[in-house]
Structure 1
């Protein structure tokens, strides 16, 4: 699968925008509702946010940026304070945006990413497609969180990529 740098930059920008949009919507959610079991894979909105932080900041970023293979449970609660959790997710998204902006041209992108999974299994995967996975993974879990918000009776933000693109084109 070929993935151009320009598309990865767009996805990194979307990642920042969608995180900020979702996290802003969560300000209205009570602590009890944030921790409530709403039937998500990681049980609650809070558990899902922690999973997102584990995946993008604690596992995938070191794999890409540091050629490291950290090991930790995907359901580990790494931050118990909601404000710090949201701040760390925003910082992680910005870190990805900076990382992708610094990638070389399409022709010079690495062809593969080699790492060892949390289960100790070595992998060699297509670099650009695996980087795209990081952003797709967050999109998947943001969708789960909006389903949780709906189940709890809260309004949900529009998170489709096209809304970011429309906002960007309106500024031109």
Structure 2
């Protein structure tokens, strides 16, 4: 009887372990897919991908949109954040060349991060590569400032705050 119980427990543990491994493999495959999606997107924009840097995820609440870095990140997007609030957004970052910010600090390359939700690119940001730490806001994925995207920045900020403060 003890042997039957031990064998039964071994089968249960083995089955659970296989399920955990399957879930881990599925997660890794999805992450790899996001890397490919982001790389292809950057190449479609005409950038030469030099190296993969990192991946991660972000989650924004309404209040995050009024604080840094949330306001800065969404301020350089061409899409509104409303459909992505309280949802996990994947990020994939690369070093690229042939980008409008390449020579801002004479480094010849730019950091670019792509935002992905449900395996679709929803935006991204960039900033020039520098030997020294940089201070300032993000640029859009195509190298534009918030002001270049929105025009009157104070008007945009007032509208943004009114929309997301409650």
Q: Give TM-score, length-normalised by structure 2.
A: 0.25
Query: Higher relative contact order at CA 8 Å, sep ≥6: structure 1 or structure 2?
Result: 1
Greater share of residues in helix: 1
With normalisation by structure 1, the TM-score equals 0.24
Greater strand share, 1 or 2?
2
Structure (1 or 2) with the larger CA radius of gyration:
2
